[in-house]
A and B are shown apart, each in its own frame.
Chain A
Amino acid sequence: MLIIKNLHAEVEGKQILKGLNLTVNAGEVHAIMGPNGAGKSSLASVLAGRENYEVTEGEVWFEGKNLLEMAPEDRAREGVFLAFQYPVEIPGVSNINFLKTAIGEIRAYRNLPPLDAKAFLQLSKEKQKLVEFDAKLVNRSLNEGFSGGEKKRNEIFQLAMLEPLLSILDETDSGLDIDALRIVSKGVNKLRSPKNAFLIITHYQRLLEYIVPDFVHVLYDGRIVKSGTKELALELEEKGYDWLKEKEEVGTN
């Protein structure tokens, strides 16, 4: 589904990603862990197409297409979804209208007929229930006045509505209390299927107790320095990241 080869990227002239390789197949859940400043969120931004990131080297293929050549909206229409670390508040745009517009444009791109109002409402109700999203929030302005937890839950609700192939969760657990974390994780687990894949970016192992990954990768200094199964996450939790840093330094010297 997703093949990243030797990805180098910089922001404002500063090299952030320095030769990252990763392959994600349908049905898999990958966790990307690593210390602050390793480039975790930058990877999410580059994949989603944030404009201030410049790819200087490498390739990203999504379902056989060159992802890096696409505008952010086309990436989303092809099936890439980024759950934001800091969802944006947009007063005056209602949540539901926003989703209606998004689904309309995605379907048009895929040459699908538009959803009629009834079908849309049906879908919305079904997904609200699935991810336990408050119906009251659905009709409010997009994220306006939402608590941190409500914003993250809204990201998962949008994810459920748009049914992407690849979902990138950028530190979705940050700022969540244990109950919100449980609800968000439950939503994600329900949405997992053999057809889609998840890339979960997190600093802590905590989230991975709820969303169990197939693979765990450690990102450090712009590269994946270690990959393993879910046990790696536990190891990281126990030892922290310093031992990796030391190893890395020894390796580069």
Chain B
Amino acid sequence: MSLIQEPAIPLYDAVVKGYHTLSTAGADTEGVRRARQSAFDQWRLLGFPSIKNEDWKYTNITRYLKDEFALDGLVAGGGPVAAVAAPAGLVKKATIPGLDAFQVVLVNGVWDGKVHGASPKGELPKGIELLKVSQVLNDPAFAGYFGNGKWGNQHFAYLNTALFTDGLFIRVKDGAVIEKPLHVVHVFTADRNLLIQPRHVWVAGRNAEASVIESIVGGEGDVKLWVNSLMEIFAQTDSKLDHVVLQTAGTGVRLVQHTTVRQQKQSLYNNYTFTLPGAELVRNDLQARLEEDHTETHLYGLYLTAGGQLVDNHTLVDHQKPNCYSNELYKGVLLEKSTGVFNGKVYVHQDAQKTNAFQQNNNLVISKQATIDSKPELEIYADDVKCSHGSTVGQFSEEALFYLRARGIGEDTAKALLINAFAFDVTEKLRNEAVEHFVNELISQHIPSQTQA
């Protein structure tokens, strides 16, 4: 028995206290209500993770939990905080120059129903459907998308399931090929510390093709926003989905983002996750569940961390069936006093023969005060597979730096060039030129003044 009393977490108490009022406030159907209750019960047992949990061993969130957070929907007046307008500056920050896309803006997880950059009437092309999660949650026709209650050891997924209110539901209809990307801008803003829990569901129908770019902005001020976002993606048979995530929130944001992708036969899912300096805590749980055979999955990630940031990428590629291909490349550049964590798990079930699974994590540690914990994790139970993994941690090549300087390039510019070059392996994978250019610009912006060790 432990003799050390765990310090009380104000948010834990707030959730326990507020759950009843919140969960009965809406007009949830019996099914939804039961799912919430079950998730809540589970979360009450689990609480918030500590470094004693294997999945959180290198990511200590205790200090981020010391603040008090109000629960969205339970603030003064009872109305959801989410009903505020998006500050124009934040939307502008997320705007990608030269990107030809449909744009929707969600404030604290709530979509205002508007589509920018669509036809003059504001309509989307025929094959794609956008709805608010709050609209479809209690609709029996959508029950299949919200019924998942098995979140394993995912503390935050239970918390989200217990109390989420809204988010974006996207459905690309069977056979629809959406040429123009959809740009989803997530703005987080409030006048007091707040727990915000968006819940998104995306469905790519059979033979459907789409490309979605997400931008996360907000948290520029002193207010602390704890964003606990949960997304489920259903990639149906023969679908192709390109998914870019640009995490550019400010220091006031603590972001925990869980994404589960469920892939059916011959589906292709590409994820590109970029985390830039700002948000003091980012924890990404990206899980690709290869539930049927002949799927293809590419996970690319780049984290450029600065200040006192803690950025943790946990990925899981769950090979359940034979003949699936997965490839993962995550790269990290660590500046100042920041900390990075990479944990890449590849699980190959006994059934999943002829699996091809590759994983690589490379890190460039720029500052002497920066830290990286890199942990590849392979569990293989099938005997006819090709799997590989690799992890490196390094510093600037002195020789490369000298070569550039010997050509008249100043030290800061030379370092910026080398960082961009290091990141290039990931940024070049982006299929949209405007997005690639934007990401490279974001990287460059954060380098010159921050290269001093």
Binding site for B on A (CB under 8 A): 48-51, 71-73, 75-77, 81-82, 84, 87-88, 90-93, 98-99, 101-103, 105-106, 109, 141, 158, 162
Contacts and interface: CB of A to CB of B under 8 A. Distances in A.
Interface string B404-419: 1111111101100110
Contacts of A81: 406-407
Q: Is the contact region of chain B dominated by helix, strand, or loop, or is it mixed?
A: helix
6 contacts: A73-B405, A88-B399, A99-B407, A101-B413, A102-B407, A102-B408
Given A90-B403, A92-B425, 10 more contacts: A51-B398, A71-B411, A72-B405, A84-B406, A88-B397, A88-B400, A91-B425, A93-B418, A98-B404, A109-B408
Contact of B407 (A50, A76, A91, A109): A76
A102 B45 CA distance: 60
A46 B155 CA distance: 59
Contacts of B418: 90, 93
Interface in B376-421: 397-400, 402-411, 413-414, 417-418, 420-421
B397 A73 contact: no
Contact of B413 (A48, A49, A105, A141): A105
A101 B414 CA distance: 9
A50 to B, nearest CB: 6
Which 8 pairs from chain A and chain B are nearest by CB?
A92-B421, A92-B424, A76-B408, A72-B405, A106-B408, A88-B403, A102-B407, A73-B405
B433 to A, nearest CB: 15
Contacts of A102: 404, 407-409
Nearest to B414: A73
A117 to B, nearest CB: 16
A72 B407 CA distance: 8
Given A92-B421, A92-B422, A101-B417, A73 B399 contact: no
A92 B333 CA distance: 15
User: In the complex, which of the residues A87, A92, A103, A105 has the most CB atoms of chain B within 10 Å of its own CB atom?
Assistant: A92
Contacts of B411: 71, 73
Contacts of A101: 409, 413, 417
Contacts of A72: 402, 405-406
B31 to A, nearest CB: 51
Nearest to A164: B408
Interface of B: 397-400, 402-411, 413-414, 417-418, 420-425
Contacts of A87: 403
Nearest to A89: B400
A242 B80 CA distance: 90
Contacts of A141: 421
B420 A84 contact: no
A101 B423 CA distance: 18
B421 A84 contact: no
Contact of A49 (B397, B400, B406, B417): B406
A77 B410 CA distance: 10
B409 A73 contact: yes
Given A51-B398, A71-B411, A88-B400, A82 B406 contact: yes
A99 B408 CA distance: 10
Contacts of B402: 50-51, 72
Nearest to B424: A92
B407 A158 contact: yes
A141 B406 CA distance: 18
A48 B404 CA distance: 12
B422 A73 contact: no
Contacts of B410: 73, 105
B302 to A, nearest CB: 12
Contacts of B400: 88, 90
B405 A93 contact: no
A90 B421 contact: yes
A76 B413 CA distance: 15
Contacts of A71: 405, 411
A36 to B, nearest CB: 21
Contacts of A49: 405-406
Contacts of B423: 92
A93 B413 contact: no
Given A51-B398, A90-B400, A76 B424 contact: no
User: In the complex, which of the residues A72, A82, A101 has the most CB atoms of chain B within 10 Å of its own CB atom?
Assistant: A72
